[in-house]
Amino acid sequence: MHKVATFDSATLAPHPKYGAHAHGLNWSPFVEHADDTVHISYGIIEVTPGGETELTIQAHETGLYLIEGAVDVIRDGRAYRLVAGDFMLIPTGIAHAYRNAGSVAARWIEMCAPQPKAPDAWQDTWFDGAAEWPDTPALINLADRRDQMVGHYDIAQHTPPLTITPDLDGFSQRMMIDDVFGAVHFNMFVINFANGGICNHHDHAFEEAYYVLGGEVDIVFDGQEYLLKKGDFAWTGVGAQHAFFPREGTPVHWLEIQAPQPPLREGVRFYSPWDNFTNVIKF
């Protein structure tokens, strides 16, 4: 119940849901309906220079995190220009469109939940004709209260590492998209380990997926060891045992998503406190 892979730009291909309703829109899925996941669709979207989509309405939430270039987005009639480090939530049923007015490809990590259906299954995506674009959409302005469900992540502003428990040390988290932000189906955030640390063996009652933004980290998923580095994806299913062991001298940070949103209590079940029961309770 896990998967590890590296993003390869050669896997980008026209998005099968859009057909003639878009040009220059490519998709490289990491996990989706064809995999063991049941809650999410997670991967990289690319819009090539001059590419754009029609207005699109979908029966799922979408989270975007820009990793390269710039993309114009119309969401519910308001236009934005997103650049690397920006993120946005597109709620269920909200008309939106993408356009690349620049000279380099725009790429973003895209998370969707509930999981979109296969192109030949129940229809969950509809199109409403060409978008009306302003000449130059504005960059997001976090001081403007109209610019909601958008944000920007900067590693330099990440909070210092914390010691939480013996099972979680040297870690900090920058929440991006959650219920407070406006999402109801998933969380998106960045995890940072500045230098070493530990996130010991645990599992969850939800799925998680990861994309390494920088650095490298040793991981153990279901007893199998891997090294994750920049550009690598990983995914753990419900109940999959996993742990992270950041190396000294190799700071690492990754984008992480969770779906469904975790319960209010006991979202993480570290194994070691329960293993200690063996010495206390005899059966």
Task: Indicate the average pLDDT of the chain.
Answer: 95
Q: Which residues pair with 243 in a beta bridge?
A: 220
Element (H, E) at 198: strand 187-203
Q: Is the pLDDT of residue 277 over 90?
A: no
Element (H, E) at 273: helix 271-275
Of the pLDDT bands very low, low, confident and very high (cuts 50, 70, 90), residue 257 is: very high
Domains of the chain: 2-152 (2.60.120.10), 155-277 (2.60.120.10)
Position 275 scores a pLDDT of 87
Q: How many CA atoms lie within 13 A of 26 on its CB side?
A: 16
Q: Which tens digits make up the pLDDT trace of 210-234?
A: 999 999 999 999 999 999 999 999 9
Q: Is the pLDDT of residue 49 over 90?
A: yes
Q: Is 82 exposed, middle or buried (0-12, 13-18, 19+ CB in 10 A)?
A: buried
Whether the upstream peptide bond of residue 134 has omega within 30° of 0, thus cis, is no
